[in-house]
Structure 1
Amino acid sequence: MKGLLFAKELQAVEGDRVTVVTGFPNYPAGKIYDGYRIRPITREVRDGVEIIRLPLVPGHGRNPLWRIANYLSFFASLLVWGLFAARKYDLVYVYHPPMTVGFAAALFSAVHRKPFILEVQDLWPESVVASGISGAGALERGLAAMCRFVYRRATHIVAQSHGMADKLIERGANASAMSVIYNWSNSEPAPLPPRSVPGDAYEFLYTGNLGIYQDLGTAIAATRIAHAADSRVRLTMIGNGAEKARLAESLTDADRAFIRFRDSVPQEDLLEIVANADCLLLHLRDMPFFEFTIPSKIPFYLAMARPVLAGIRGEAAGILRDSGAAEVVAPESPDAMARAMVALARETPERREARGRQGAAYYHEHLARNQAIRRTRALFVFPDGDKSR
C-alpha cells in the first residue's frame, strides 16, 4: 500500500494539497493499532499531509460477518463524509481494494461533479471469493455489478499490470482512460552491502502479510525438505495476518530450530533485518487472477539488492526473471521450491552479490518511485481542465 509517502510525493511534484481519508489502522490482524481509538472523525497532520480518519468496524480473516462489517462500515462512513465534505476538493484518487471504497467515491464524486481516478490493485469479485470467506460466492454477482458501475464512472483507471488492464477493459472499463503503472518500493536505499552476520546458515526471509493468499505452508514444507538436504537453510517470516497462528502451530519442535516467526517491525528496523538475509522469499497461491497480479513485495525486494526466490506465475514471474535477481518456481510446489532453496544456498558469494546488483538496477530502470509518481500526477485533470493545483 502506498500510503503517506505517496501523498507526500504528490504534494512535492506540483505543490498540490493532498488530504488522505482513511480508516483507523487495523490491517492485517483486524485489531486497532496501539495508540488509536475509534472516534467519529479525527484529523492529524503528518509530514505536511492532512489525514482524516473515519470510523469502521475492525475485522479481517475468514469470518464473513466481520469482513462484511469492516467493508460496509467504512463505505458508510466515507459516503457520508464525501457527501458533506468532498465538495471543496478538486479531484478524488481512490486506492482499491476494497471496491466498496471506490463505490462510495463514485457516488459522492458524481453528486459533486468531481473527477475521480481509481487505482486497481486487486480484481474483485474473484479475490474476495478466493479468499476463503464463507458465503462470498453468493455475493459474487452483486459485487461484479458494483465493480462495473465503478469502472464506468471512473474518470481514469490505473492498473498495476498489463494483464489486469486487459481484464478491466473486458469488464467495461474505457480502454482510452486506462494506464498501467507498476508498484514501487517505499524504501529506496543505496544498494545494501553483502550480509554482515557471519556464519554458515543461509537465511531466507519473508516479510509482509501472513494470509490465505500467500499460502506460506508451501514455504514451510519446502524449508523442511531443503534443510534435510542442506542443514544451512533457514527461514524467517516477519509479519502478521489471518494465517499466522495456524502456521506457527504447524511447526514441530524440530522445525523451530530452523524456521521462526517474528512480529511486524518498523521500516527502519526491517531494512537492517533485510541486510542480514541471504535471499528474500515470496509465494502466492496458484490461482488464475494471480497471473496478472504483481505483488508490491516485488519492487521492494528488488530495490533491496538481494537474491529473490518466488513461487509465482504470470506477469510477476516474467518481471522477476527479467530482473536477473530471482529464481522462480511453480506456486504450491514444495519440492520445486526446496530444490531452488538448496541451489541458491550453494551459490558463491559473488553470484549472490551479482543477483542483488542486477535486481536493484532493474528496479531503478523500470519500477522506480519517481517515474511512477510523475506518470500518476500527469493523469490529474481538474474540473476546469487545468493540470496543476
Structure 2
Amino acid sequence: MRIGVLTQWYDPEPGPAALPGVLARGLLARGHEVRVLTGFPNYPSGELAEGWRMSRRRRRVEDGVDVTRVALYPSHDGRAWRRMTNYGSFGASALVNGASSFRGLDAMWVNYSPITVAAPMLAARHVLGVPAVCHVADLWPDTLTAGGFAPRPSPLVRTVEATLEAWCGAMYAASEVVTYIAPGVGDELARRGVPRHKLAYAPMWAEESTFFPADDALRREGETWRASLGVDPDDVVLLYAGAIGHAQGLETLVEAAARYAASPSAGAPRLRVVVVGSGVAEADLRARAEKAGLVPDAVSFPGRVPQDRMPVLMAGADACFVGLAATPLSRITMPSKTQASLAAAKALVVAADGDVQDVARESGAGWAVDSGDVAALTGVLAAVCQSGRGGLADRGRRGRAYYEEHFGLDRALDRAEAHLETARAGRATRTTRTTRRITRRTTATPMTSTSTAHTRRTR
C-alpha cells in the first residue's frame, strides 16, 4: 500500500514522540511506500533540536521514509497560549504547506493528538480522497484540562472546548477506522457517538531499539551509572524517566518515598528513587524532595539525559514508576512508559487509576495503587525493597513476556496494516457505490428525455 502518516511528533523527538517513526519504519520494512507529514523537532525542550534549521517546508528521505516537514512555532512550556500556538501553527502549516504530499495515497494513519491535525487530515480526506485511520491516544478536549491549561471553567474555555469537540467529531466522522490505545478509551468514544463498527483496539508499542532486555555488557554499563549516583550494588533503584509535569502525579511518589525513608523495612535493601527528565513541575518537585530531606540520599534528580542513554538507565534500574494525577481522564490513560518499561523487562510500580492498573496486575510485572494514594504507595515501596533486585528481575521477565504477547511491534504492525487495509477497502466500496449511482442517473436521464420527446411528437 501507499501509506501516509500524519503526526506533529516524529524523530528525533524522544519518548512517545518517537513512536510514529517506529510505525513508519516498520511499515516500510514490510514493503509499503510510506510518506510522513510532520513538523520540525522541538519536543520536549520547546526549542528547535540541535542541528536543525526551520524552513517553510522540507522534504527528505529519512531512514528510507519520505518525510515532509513543515514550519511550526516551537514551544513546550507551561504557558497555555504558547503551547496552543505550537499546536495551531503545525495544523495550519501542514494544511497549507504539506497536505498535498499525501496525494495519491491508499490510506493514512493519523496521530490524533494534538487535535489541530484535523485541518490537514480533513483536507487530505475530502479534497484528495485519502481514507483515514484516526489513532486516538489522548482524548481531546479533555487533555487540556488534565494538563492544567484550562483549570477553571469560563465562557472562553467553554467556547474553545465546544470548538475542539466539533473538530473531534469531524475527524471521527471522516475516518473509516478509529483506533484507541486503552479499553476505557474505546468505551468513552462509543459514549461520544463514534459508531462501534468503526472502533478498533490498537495499543501503543515501544521503541524497541531503545527499550529491550539488557545483555551482560549493558548491565555493566548500568551498574557504572548507578555507582555515579552513589547507589550501592544491593540498593533497589526505582526509576522515573519522562516529562515532569502536573499530570504525572510525581508528588505522590516523593511523599511516599519520604514516609518510607522515615520507617524503612528492617533488613531490606535501601530504596533509591531516581527522577530523570524535566518539565513545568520540576522545580516544585525538587523543592518538595529537598524539604523532606530526601536529596541526595533517597531521591536523585539527574536532569534530562539524551535518548541514546536510556538503555543504560533502564539497565541500571530495578523497577520503573508510572504515575498519573487523579483526573477524570486518568482512568482511561495508558502512559507510553508502561510499554517501554515492560519491553525493557523492568518491574512496574503504578500509582494511577483504571486501565494501566490492569496491565500492572495482569502482567505479573508489579504493583498498582490508586492515583494519589500515598499510604498504599508507601506500602508498595516496602514490598519493592523486600523483593530485592532478584525478585524484581523475575517480575521484569514476566512483564517482557506480557509485552511481546500484547504490545510488541510485530503485533502493532499487524494491527496497523489490517486497519489501513480496512480504510482502503472502505474507499473502494464508496467509489463503487458512487459509480453505480452515477451510472443509474446517466442511464435514466436519456430514457426520460426520449420518452418525453416521443410523447410530444405523438401529440
TM-score (norm 2): 0.79
Q: What does the per-residue CA deviation read over 1:31-57, in whole Å, with 9 as the maximum and x for residues that have no partner?
A: 222222221112232221122211111
Larger radius of gyration: 2
**How is 1:276-315 mapped onto 2 (pairs within 5 angstroms)?**
276-315=316-355
* Structure 2 unaligned blocks of 5 or more: 1-15, 151-155, 224-231, 430-459
Contact 2:28-2:34 within 8 A present in 1 as well: yes
Q: 1:181 aligns with which of 202, 206, 210?
A: 202
Match in the other structure for 1:225: 259
Q: Who is 2:273 aligned against?
A: 235
Aligned to 1:37, what secondary structure does the other structure show? Answer: coil
1:55 match: 71
Specify every segment of 5 or more residues in structure 1 that has no aligned partner in the other structure, as ranges: none
CA displacement, residues 300-334 of structure 1 (integer Å, 9 cap, x when unaligned): 11111121111011111111100001111111122
Check the 8 A contact 1:106/1:154 in 2, yes or no. Answer: no
> Do the aligned partners of 2:322 and 2:349 also contact (CA within 8 Å) in 1?
yes
Alpha-carbon deviation of 1:345? 0.6
Per the alignment, in what secondary structure is the counterpart of residue 56 of structure 1?
coil
Q: Does 1:215 align with 2:243?
A: no
After superposition, what is the alpha-carbon deviation per residue over 1:224-276, rounded to whole angstroms, capped at 9, x for unaligned?
22222238211111122222233234432732222122333344421111111
Q: Tell me the secondary structure at the aligned position of residue 11 of structure 1.
A: helix
Q: 2:35 matched to which residue of 1?
A: 19
Q: 1:323 aligns with which of 346, 356, 363?
A: 363
Deviation larger for 35-44 or 324-333: 35-44
Q: 1:156 aligns with which of 177, 183, 187?
A: 177
How far residue 190 of structure 1 moved from its aligned partner, in angstroms, is 5.6
In structure 2, the partner of 1:4 is: 21
Query: Aligned runs of 1:78-93 on 2, under 5 Å?
Result: 78-93=94-109
Shift in Å at residue 7 of structure 1? 0.5
Whole-angstrom CA distance in 1 between matches of 2:388 and 2:183: 36
1:40 aligns with 2:56: yes
The answer for the alignment partner of 1:114 in structure 2 is 130
Between structures 1 and 2, the one with greater helix share:
2
SS for the counterpart of 2:305 is coil
Preserved CA contact (<8 Å) 1:280 1:301: yes
Q: Is the 8 A contact 1:129 1:137 kept in 2?
A: no
2:270 partner letter: R
Q: Deviations over 1:5-44 (max 9, x none)?
A: 211101122x111121111112223222222222111223
CA distance in 2, matches of 1:241, 1:28: 8
C-alpha change, 1:3 and 1:214, in structure 2 (3 Å) is same
Write out per-residue CA displacement over residues 180-203 of structure 1, whole angstroms, 9 at most, x where no aligned residue.
011111126663369653523221
Equivalent position to 2:295, from 213, 238, 256 = 256
One-letter amino acid of the structure 1 residue matched with residue 394 of structure 2: A
* Superposition map of 1:69-84 within 5 A: 69-84=85-100
Output the CA distance in 2 between the equivalents of 1:372 and 1:366: 9
CA distance in structure 2 between the aligned counterparts of 1:117 and 1:82, rounded to whole angstroms: 18
The answer to whether the Cα contact below 8 Å between 1:102 and 1:118 also exists between their aligned partners in 2 is no
Q: Is 315-324 or 351-360 further displaced after alignment?
A: 351-360
Runs (4 or more) in structure 1 with deviation over 6 Å come to none
1:139 and 2:160 are equivalent in the alignment: yes
1:335 deviates by 2.4
RMSD of the TM alignment (CA)? Answer: 2.2
- Helix, strand or coil: the match of 2:185? helix
